[in-house]
Structure 1
Amino acid sequence: MGYAKVFVGVLFLFVTLATTSAIKCTTNTTTTNSTCRSLIDYVPVNDTVLSAVKSLFQIKRFHDLLGANDFSTSTLPNQTLPAKQRIRIPFTCRCVNGTGVSDRAPVYKVKKDDGLYNIAFFTFSNLVTYQEIAKVNGIPNPDKITVGQELWIPLPCSCDEVEGAKVVHYGHVVESGSSVDQIATVYGTTPAILLNLNGMANASQLLAGQVLDVPLKACNSSVNSSSLDYPLLVANGTYVYTANDCVNCKCSSGNNYILQCEASGLKPSPKTWSTCPAAQCNGTSSLYLLGNVTTASTTCNQTTCAYSGFTNESIFTTLATESTCPAGGPTGSPTSSPGSDASKNGMQGFRWNFLFISIQLIILCFTLS
Structure 2
Amino acid sequence: MAQLSLSLLLLLLAAAALSPSPTAARFTCNAKARATTCQALISYTPPPNATTTLGDVRTLFQLRSHRALLASNALPLSTPQTAPAPSPVRVRLPCLCSGGAGATFQRPTYKVRAGDTLDAVARGVFAGLVTYRDIAAANNVSDPNRVAVGQELWVPLPCSCDPVGGLPVVHLTYVVPPGSSVAGIAQEYGATEEIILGLNRLTDAKSLLAGQVLDVPLRVCSSAISSTAIDRNLCVPNASYILTANNCITCGCSSSTWQLDCQPTQGIASSVCPVAKCGDLFLGNTSVATSPASPCEGTACLYAGYTNSTSFAILTNLTSSSMCDAAGMSPAAQPSHSSASRLGLPTRWRWSELIVGIHIVLLCHGLLRRD
Name the counterpart of 1:263.
264
* 1:80 match: secondary structure: coil
* Residues 1:328 and 1:72: Cα distance change in structure 2 (over 3 Å): closer
Name the counterpart of 1:295.
288
Q: Deviations over 1:69-118 (max 9, x none)?
A: 11222222111247xx3111111111111111001111111222222111
The answer (yes or no) to whether the contact 1:245–1:266 under 8 Å persists in 2 is no
Q: State how many pairs are aligned.
A: 325
The answer (yes or no) to whether the contact 1:65–1:88 under 8 Å persists in 2 is yes
Q: 1:168-207, aligned counterparts within 5 Å?
A: 168-207=170-209
Report the Cα distance in structure 2 between the residues aligned to 1:196 and 1:296, rounded to whole angstroms.
48
Q: 1:309-328, aligned counterparts within 5 Å?
A: 309-312=305-308, 313-321=312-320
Gaps of 5+ in 2: 326-335, 350-371
Report the Cα distance in structure 2 between the residues aligned to 1:329 and 1:299, rounded to whole angstroms.
28
Shift of 1:173: 1.8
Shift of 1:331: 6.3
Q: Deviations over 1:38-59 (max 9, x none)?
A: 1121112242111001110111
* Residues 1:300 and 1:97: Cα distance change in structure 2 (over 3 Å): farther
Normalised by the length of structure 1, the TM-score is 0.79
* Residues 1:13 and 1:264: Cα distance change in structure 2 (over 3 Å): farther
Name the counterpart of 2:159.
157
Name the counterpart of 2:275.
278
1:55 to 52, 59, 71: 59
Normalised by the length of structure 2, the TM-score is 0.79
Q: 1:1-369, aligned counterparts within 5 Å?
A: 2=6, 3-4=8-9, 7=12, 10-11=15-16, 14=19, 17-18=21-22, 20-28=24-32, 30=34, 34-45=36-47, 46-47=49-50, 48-81=52-85, 85-254=87-256, 256-267=257-268, 275-281=272-278, 283=279, 285=280, 288-295=281-288, 303-312=299-308, 313-321=312-320, 333-334=343-344
Report the Cα distance in structure 2 between the residues aligned to 1:222 and 1:246, rounded to whole angstroms.
17
Name the counterpart of 1:366.
none
Shift of 1:10: 4.7
* Larger displacement relative to structure 2 (21-30 or 44-53): 21-30
Report the Cα distance in structure 2 between the residues aligned to 1:217 and 1:195, rounded to whole angstroms.
17
* Structure with a larger share of its residues in helix: 1
* Residues 1:24 and 1:277: Cα distance change in structure 2 (over 3 Å): same
* 1:55 match: secondary structure: helix
Report the Cα distance in structure 1 between the residues aligned to 2:106 and 2:224, rounded to whole angstroms.
30
Report the Cα distance in structure 2 between the residues aligned to 1:301 and 1:86, rounded to whole angstroms.
43
Gaps of 5+ in 1: 340-369
Shift of 1:172: 2.0
Q: Which runs of 4+ in 1 moved over 4 A?
A: 8-15, 296-302, 321-333, 335-339
Report the Cα distance in structure 2 between the residues aligned to 1:69 and 1:336, rounded to whole angstroms.
28
Report the Cα distance in structure 2 between the residues aligned to 1:12 and 1:79, rounded to whole angstroms.
43
What amino acid is aligned across from residue 69 of structure 1 in structure 2? Answer: N
The answer (yes or no) to whether the contact 1:19–1:209 under 8 Å persists in 2 is no
CA RMSD of aligned residues (A): 3.0
The answer (yes or no) to whether the contact 1:19–1:126 under 8 Å persists in 2 is no
What amino acid is aligned across from residue 64 of structure 1 in structure 2? Answer: A
The answer (yes or no) to whether the contact 2:219–2:343 under 8 Å persists in 1 is no
The answer (yes or no) to whether the contact 1:44–1:125 under 8 Å persists in 2 is yes
Report the Cα distance in structure 2 between the residues aligned to 1:171 and 1:230, rounded to whole angstroms.
24
Report the Cα distance in structure 1 between the residues aligned to 2:181 and 2:249, rounded to whole angstroms.
38
Q: Deviations over 1:250-304 (max 9, x none)?
A: 11203x1111101113559xxxx971122111x2x3xx11111223698877532
Report the Cα distance in structure 2 between the residues aligned to 1:63 and 1:246, rounded to whole angstroms.
12
* 1:304 match: secondary structure: strand
Report the Cα distance in structure 2 between the residues aligned to 1:219 and 1:165, rounded to whole angstroms.
11
What amino acid is aligned across from residue 274 of structure 2 in structure 1? Answer: P
Report the Cα distance in structure 2 between the residues aligned to 1:155 and 1:279, rounded to whole angstroms.
38
* 2:95 match: secondary structure: strand
* Residues 1:130 and 1:322: Cα distance change in structure 2 (over 3 Å): farther
